[in-house]
Structure 1
Amino acid sequence: MWPRIDGVALEQQKAVKRVSANPEARSAGDFRRRPRRRGQALHEAIYQATLDELTEVGYAELTMDRVAARAKASKGSLYRRWPSRVELVVEAVRHVAPEITPVPDSGDLRADLIAQLDRFAEAMAGPQAEAVRGMFLEVIRNPELLAAFHKQQHDTPREAMAEILRLGAVRGDVRPEALTPMIAGVGPVLLRQHMLLNGAVMTHQEIEELVDEVLLPIVQPRPAS
């Protein structure tokens, strides 16, 4: 005697047959059946998944398994390039860091400093702002992550400001003694600090005040005593 098939079981059998006959439906639920992504396309998907995870759960809860699932990639493709989540997170954040070249060179020191800081503020307010903000907080309290950032990531905002100050020194608008990494980092550090404490980047007006009241008095030639 044939086994009895009720209505629910019959519908399930029909659904299986439909999926089996449709390659697109069959592959939709399993990324391993999809065309394999390679190179930059795969990396972009993994970077985005990493930043999305940072935004959603934070660094403490981020795992390679979660990133792989979100990126619809295999764990092996992650571990072949990034030995651990530390390296992956550092590279993902670096990937969305603002470009520093070419720096503004209008011949007006004040205008160039404001323009460059506006660029940094705009980058920090972009789509990945929450992930980057969370990353700054994690770096402060995670020595392993801090060491990885120092090792693998250039301080691009500081480098850009240093170049603007160097160009100003050539014109005589900046005293040579002000060409130090510490002074070049003042503007970017205050921008980050403002974002961490207030949850928002500086406005254009606030950046103008920063340049006029802090940066220019520090770097401009001092009158002879």
Structure 2
Amino acid sequence: MITRIYLEVTSLCNYKCVYCPHPVMKRKKEHIRWESACNALQQIARDRIGEHVHLNYLGEPLLYPRLFELITLADSLGLSTHIITNGSLLHRENIRHIRATALCDIKISYETPNEKTFALRRNSQFTSDRILQNILNTVDALKHTDKKIGLIFMTTLPGQKKAIENIEIITSMPQLKYEIRKLFDLVTLVIRVEKQVDKIQVVITKTLGIGLLILSPTPYPAAGHAHSYSSEIFC
């Protein structure tokens, strides 16, 4: 079986990040046809190609109007679904759908955690503070479920320092203190632009435990913004 299958439900995105190839991508940007998406899932299940389907690639999956219907279909076929989102569309209704459906995990890209770095997103509709609040709302809504939440941070400068600060904000909230599960240890390895490895002791509430997934390669070196690795924190 294939470990990880990507089904790009949409190639549309509401950001134009300078470090991402999406803005200069030549192929047509559009939603997948519903029939094509259903057929793909049915074939994956029928032929036992794999069990884990990631419903995105270069697009923002929450832009796809029938995303949650597709997640329900996948679950009925015995498939596990996963998404990565930029966090901008994690409003109350979408969070409610995420909680109600069989989505296994959601990763939120929080690679630009302050206003200076957020400018790299090139979307003035949103702010870094709003995205942080969306993350907090999502974690709070899913805290009594078995769903896994991942936060993806840009570990290259300048996003690194602010990201660590916001990890502390997220994990120190009293209402989340005893609810966040499935966390790792307190040691984080961060890869800088110059590819030097620094060990950073993240001192957070010991009752939680916290850690980053190390050396997750990304395909985003575009526009001169070195971005060879991302780190992920799981709640």
- The TM-score, its normalising length taken from structure 1, stands at 0.27
Larger Rg: 1
TM normalised by structure 2 equals 0.26
Greater percentage in helix = 1
